[in-house]
Structure 1
Amino acid sequence: MEHAAPRVRITSSRAPTGNPAGQSLRDEINSQTELGEVYVEGLMRAQLRLALRVLAVGIVSLGGLPLLFHFVPATRHVTFAGVPFAWWVLGVLVYPAAVLIARQYVRASERLELEFTTMVTRPVSRR
């Protein structure tokens, strides 16, 4: 009677403990094993959290502008150089803010991918 290999429960993709087959993490991912899937899903979850945070900032900031104009009546009547305050905010402030948010998003996304690549390419510890 053959004995089955003991079950291994993977609880985190942060600290690899080595694998019985002797494959590297890159091989695990390329072979689409369960361990490789855990690592890729971890990266995808981190990217999703980042995207949702950026989306929330965009919704709150852009969604807050109509509320600002509605609840602060003075903003409806203020003008600079004959142009209403609302147009200055929408035409001048929103676009640079969007570019800065996008730039931060790209940097954070690249940082996530670099951390993932570093984790996958480092040698696996054998125990």
Structure 2
Amino acid sequence: MIKDLMYIELKSGYSDDGPAWIGYVKTSKTRKTVYFNDHAFQKAIGGGSNYIDIENGDEYWISGLKKGESNRHWAGHGKITIDRRAVEEYLALIGEKELPLSLFEVAVMEDKFPVERANKLLNGIK
């Protein structure tokens, strides 16, 4: 499993203003499956999102972090929740000393990666 810091945004029902997070994810070796916040996502085919929650079908945008600009779509609004453990790494990536609290909300996020549950679901095992 690969563990990375990534940007995750819920697209279903929100367009470009959905809840968004910067946090640590686990990925499968192929990166076709991403695990974050007790959800498992698989790559989508076509459409405006790039991942689908395998349990409820919600669409998400999941990407690496941008260095020189907001991670949100240019038309999007709303604060991004960032894992408190990731703040220092994110600031180093964007070359800043402080996190603009008008754009971010710092939160405690637990590492919940439902690998076994997702594998059972994907393989049709009950």
Q: Name the TM-score, length of structure 2 as normaliser.
A: 0.23
- Higher Cα Rg, which structure: 1
Q: Which of the two has greater strand per residue?
A: 2
